[in-house]
């Protein structure tokens, strides 16, 4: 370690003398002797450095996140050459710090110690109680949140972080924080989220047309659908498709200039450019320096005439140049209040598609895919419980999975139905419904106002035939009944008739919105 190391930048002054702690001079005087040791720092120095790092972290992140990921969970065990060894309490906290706070931590350490350090993370949990007997009495009575026993080598070093063993409250905070991180993961401003791709977008009857159109746009930006408008309720995957398009274009055509923004960010950027007298730069950026413009939540332009005027000119300029425009909203253009007619007209110029709530089969597929990505194991009955309980919002669906995964990781238990009910706040008496061919037929019968007897008869009236086909389709996909059993229930029909019915409804779902809605409404009543 350089003798000119800037200790004065991070070590606190003595309260009595107004000078820096005296062990600094001891280090410098004994530098040659310390060369024989793996570390040039005493436990007091390491503690001082850790405390100063924590002070700076506390001022730069929210109190909740600081308390969850750093307070009483963070210590420095050693500093060797250009590496710094950091101790944290759990694998979860290690993962969260490395994923979300590593750059910030590295910058703070560099500003304190005057050089860049590589950070090595160690997990300290079960060893805590074991090390307390080996620590001298005066160190065991240390009131600092960190106690470190100095050793001649890293292998011999033992350390403990007082009060580090997590309480029940700490564990619950850890679970809640993971869920918060999941819900905040969609906030990317102008950045493209590499995790949102077409490969991990689950396609189902509710979104297959939107997905196919997004893929077509990604392959030939500005050529097939120069303007694409996707609308639907929050949390159904509209933003995922935006980032999937951006990722595909960036990989296939890295020179194309892509902007992903929101209506609110567009407005804020415009207002800022006016205040700084850089409105021409703003207009140039959006009219001349972009090949693909994606605006999320375009409905937020409502009641903002100044921003709408700028957007109007941007749209015209890009559309005339054959650039790609993609918008998302919670409703179709004509239903947005507070938007000028000329804006509504232009938003309707291109392809306008809606995304419906996912059906049960799609929700189950989404959960299984997310569980695979997050390395979370849930038994089928729990997956079915979540899928049947949460029907309208994919983000909430995935959030429930994240909560159960975090609970399993923190408390070291396998998730079962009772834990799932408790953690997801489901009614005590809620149970996964046991469906039968009869119950599905009755639900279809009630929806179409057609007697069950007619569904099971040989009648070939158009309305009855379609209802019968939907009953067969749901029996196959929801109940997982065999083709033979379904055929026998519906008038002793051959299994090939059932295959024909299932395939016919599957194809209609892909091209007919009315059939999509019918399936969703019936399934939601099961």
Determine contact, residues 79/41, Cβ cutoff 8 Å. yes
Q: Which CATH topology does 7-164 take?
A: GMP Synthetase; Chain A, domain 3 (3.30.300)
What are 199-234's pLDDT values in tens digits?
989 888 888 899 999 999 999 999 999 999 999 888
What does each C-alpha distance from 277 to 265, 270, 271 come to in angstroms? 18, 10, 10
Mean per-residue pLDDT, 247-257: 92
With cut-offs at 50, 70 and 90, classify the pLDDT of residue 126: very low
CA–CA distance, 295 with 298 (Å, rounded to integer): 6
- Residue-range domain boundaries for the chain: 7-164, 208-354, 360-423, 437-525
pLDDT of residue 235: 81
pLDDT of residue 212: 94
CA–CA distance, 3 with 28 (Å, rounded to integer): 7
Q: How many Cα atoms occupy the beta-carbon half-sphere of 149 within 13 Å?
A: 20
Q: Of 368, 388, 387, which is closest to residue 378 (Cα–Cα)? A: 368
208-217: long-range pairs with CB below 8 Å, 24+: 208/509, 208/510, 209/353, 209/510, 209/511, 210/237, 210/238, 210/241, 210/353, 210/354, 210/355, 211/241, 213/351, 213/353, 214/241, 214/244, 214/245, 214/326, 215/248, 217/245, 217/324, 217/326
Assigned token pair, 256: 């194309």
CA–CA distance, 183 with 175 (Å, rounded to integer): 13
Indicate the range of 32-36, 198-202, 236-240 predicted with least confidence.
32-36
Assigned token pair, 55: 């002070």
List, in order, residues 6 or more apart from 336 with CB less than 8 Å away: 298, 299, 302, 329, 344
What are 494-519's pLDDT values in tens digits?
999 999 999 899 888 877 878 887 88
CATH 1.10.3720.10 fits 360-423, yes or no: no
With cut-offs at 50, 70 and 90, classify the pLDDT of residue 114: confident
Q: Which CATH topology does 208-354 take?
A: Rossmann fold (3.40.50)
Q: Which single residue is written with the structure tokens 């000028």?
A: 340
pLDDT surpasses 60 at 270: yes
pLDDT of residue 343: 94
What are 322-363's pLDDT values in tens digits?
999 999 998 999 989 899 999 999 999 989 998 888 888 888
pLDDT surpasses 70 at 412: yes
CA–CA distance, 228 with 217 (Å, rounded to integer): 8
Residue 293: strand pairing partners: 259, 325
pLDDT surpasses 50 at 127: no
Mean per-residue pLDDT, 126-140: 37
Determine contact, residues 221/249, Cβ cutoff 8 Å. yes
The rounded mean pLDDT for the chain is: 79
Mean per-residue pLDDT, 267-276: 91
Assigned token pair, 474: 């749901």
Mean per-residue pLDDT, 426-450: 78
Q: 437-525: which CATH architecture?
A: Orthogonal Bundle (1.10)
Q: Of 331, 397, 395, which is closest to residue 360 (Cα–Cα)? A: 397
Q: Which single residue is written with the structure tokens 């600092």?
A: 144
Return the beta strands (E) in 330-398 as ranges: 351-354
> Helices in 141-257 by DSSP H: which ranges?
168-184, 208-219, 238-252
What are 59-72's pLDDT values in tens digits?
888 877 788 788 88
């Amino acid at each position: 370690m350089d003798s000119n190391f800037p200790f004065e930048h991070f070590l606190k002054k003595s309260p009595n003398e107004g000078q820096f702690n005296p062990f600094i001079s001891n280090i410098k005087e004994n530098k040659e002797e310390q060369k024989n040791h793996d570390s040039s720092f005493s436990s007091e120095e390491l503690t001082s450095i850790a405390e100063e790092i924590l002070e700076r972290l506390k001022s730069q992140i929210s109190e909740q996140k600081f308390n969850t990921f750093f307070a009483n969970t963070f210590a420095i065990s050693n500093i060797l050459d250009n590496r710094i060894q950091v101790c944290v309490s759990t694998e979860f906290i290690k993962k969260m710090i490395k994923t979300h706070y590593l750059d910030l931590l590295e910058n703070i350490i560099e500003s304190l110690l005057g050089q860049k350090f590589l950070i090595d993370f160690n997990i300290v949990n079960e060893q805590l109680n074991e090390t307390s007997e080996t620590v001298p009495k005066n160190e065991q009575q240390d009131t600092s949140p960190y106690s470190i026993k100095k050793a001649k080598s890293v292998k011999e070093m033992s350390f403990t972080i007082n009060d580090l063993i997590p309480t029940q409250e700490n564990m619950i905070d850890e679970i809640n924080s993971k869920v918060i991180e999941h819900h905040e993961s969609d906030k990317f401003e102008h950045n493209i989220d590499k995790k949102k791709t077409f490969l991990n977008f689950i396609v189902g009857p509710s979104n297959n047309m939107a997905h196919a159109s997004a893929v077509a746009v990604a392959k030939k930006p500005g050529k097939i659908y120069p303007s694409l408008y996707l609308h639907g309720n929050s949390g159904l995957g509209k933003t995922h498709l935006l980032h999937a398009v951006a990722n595909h274009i960036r990989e296939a055509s890295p020179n194309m200039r892509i902007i992903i923004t929101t209506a609110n960010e567009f407005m804020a950027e415009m207002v800022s450019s006016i205040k700084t007298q850089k409105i021409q730069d703003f207009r140039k950026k959006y009219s001349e320096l972009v090949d693909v413009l994606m605006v999320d939540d375009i409905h937020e332009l409502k009641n903002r005439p100044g921003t709408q005027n700028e957007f109007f000119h941007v749209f015209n300029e890009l559309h005339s140049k054959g650039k790609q425009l993609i918008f998302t909203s919670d409703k179709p253009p004509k239903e947005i209040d507070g938007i000028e007619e000329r804006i509504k007209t232009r938003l309707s110029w291109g392809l306008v598609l809606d995304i419906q709530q996912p059906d049960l089969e799609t929700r189950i597929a989404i959960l299984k895919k997310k569980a695979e990505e997050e390395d979370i194991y849930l038994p089928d009955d729990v997956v079915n419980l979540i899928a049947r309980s949460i029907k309208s919002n994919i983000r909430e669906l995935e959030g429930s999975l994240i909560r159960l995964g975090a609970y399993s990781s923190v408390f070291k238990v396998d998730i079962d139905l009772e834990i799932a009910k408790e953690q997801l706040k489901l009614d005590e008496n809620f149970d996964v419904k046991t469906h039968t061919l009869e119950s599905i037929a009755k639900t279809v019968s009630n929806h179409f106002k057609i007697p069950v007897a007619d569904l099971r008869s040989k009648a070939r009236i158009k309305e009855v035939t379609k209802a019968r086909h939907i009953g067969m389709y749901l029996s196959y996909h929801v109940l997982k009944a065999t083709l033979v059993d379904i055929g026998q229930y519906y008038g002793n029909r051959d299994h090939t008739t059932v295959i024909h019915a299932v395939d016919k409804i599957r194809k209609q779902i892909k091209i007919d919105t009315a059939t999509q809605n019918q399936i969703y409404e019936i399934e939601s009543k099961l």
